[in-house]
Amino acid sequence: LAMYAAKRAGAHSWMKHDPSMVDRRAMDALLAEDLTGAAGRGELIVLYQPIVDLATGNPSGYEALVRWRHPVRGLVPPLDFIPVAERTGLIYDLGLYVLTRACTDLVHAPGSPYVSVNLSPRQLQTPTLVHDVLSAVKRAGLPMERLVLEVTESAIVDEKSIVTLHELRGHGIRIAVDDFGTGYSSLHYLTRLPVDILKIDRSFVAELDGTPTGSAIAEAVIRLAQVLRLRTIAEGIETADQTRELLALGCPTGQGFLYAKPGPLEAVFTNAGRSLDPAHPSPKLSEAER
């Protein structure tokens, strides 16, 4: 790797003085090279985490979370390759692959749950996004009302991204703000954003400890959502106490390891036994890889 990095850096002598930069660029280049065509080779795996009604524990939808099974590196978590895909532009096709996979996987799921798919900033900035999302969802046969797209505050950077979200919502797709509270958007901005759902970031759920200070941010987000008539989904629920507190604060929905870790389709729908759509089987994930 060092030699590869040195070669690549050769053209930019300044990089030789910043080894961390060389490593980053070389790693990016190597990963990006491997990531190109990963979907076509069946290396991308989409796991599903239920989003449950906190009062009953019943799932109302599922968030699609991608994994990359690299032939040499093994299972690569999204935080290790999504940023690279974002920097190199590979995220656009990768994102459409995940969307298509998720819609196809869940279109016939019992109870007609909604499907929640993450959308990166770069995807939101691409002019063909609305067209490509609509055709992917139509091809899968999923009603637009059953799709939620998750965007972070930092992705909604300009008028164009707001117009795009308006367009998507015009077709019945719902928009969730992911990791809400961790970005830098002003609260004033939020009142005019075309969104339906606020996802309370895991860090604020982790602070819930029965004290007013611990619940301060979660409570503020929930109140804000109530006034703006938005739904809230709490992320990263790990204890029954957190669920009790969220319900008391007025948050009706959530996801987290307390309920289920993200799992392959077959495991999420245990009684389905096999892929719900035998015509389009998903790549399998072994027990050891989870």
Q: Work out which of 65, 177, 233, 249 binds ligand C2E, going by CB under 6 A.
A: 65
Among the candidate windows 3-11, 20-28, 211-219, 233-241, which touches ligand C2E by CB under 6 A?
Answer: 233-241
Query: In angstroms, what CA-CA distances link 22 with 26, 33, 108, 233, 259?
Result: 6, 16, 47, 40, 42
Question: What stretches of 111-237 adopt beta strand conformation (E)?
Answer: 114-118, 147-152, 174-180, 197-200, 231-234
CA–CA distance from 3 to each of 7, 10, 52, 228 (Å)? 6, 10, 50, 55
Residue pointed to by tokens 């819930």:
208
Q: How far is the CB of 232 from ligand C2E (least distance, A)?
A: 14
For 181-223, strand residue ranges (E) read 197-200
Task: Work out which of 9, 31, 54, 82 binds ligand C2E, going by CB under 6 A.
Answer: 82
Cα–Cα distance for residue pair 257/31, rounded to 1 Å: 29
Per CB under 5 A, the list member of 34, 93, 153, 179 interacting with Mg ion is: 179
Nearest to 147 by CA among 133, 160, 161: 133
Query: Should residue 93 be labelled a site residue for ligand C2E when binding is judged by CB under 6 A?
Result: no
Which range touches ligand C2E (CB under 6 A), out of 5-13, 35-43, 218-226, 236-244?
Answer: 236-244
275 within 8 A of 48, measured Cβ to Cβ: no
Q: Is 282 in the site for Mg ion (CB under 5 A)?
A: no
Could you say which of 59, 181, 254, 262 contacts ligand C2E (CB under 6 A)? 262
Q: Which stretch binds ligand C2E (CB under 6 A): 7-15, 17-25, 78-86, 211-219?
A: 78-86
Where do contacts with ligand C2E occur on this chain (CB under 6 A)? 49, 65-66, 77-79, 82, 95, 98, 118, 120, 150, 178-179, 202, 235-238, 255-257, 262
Where do contacts with Mg ion occur on this chain (CB under 5 A)? 118, 150, 178-179, 235
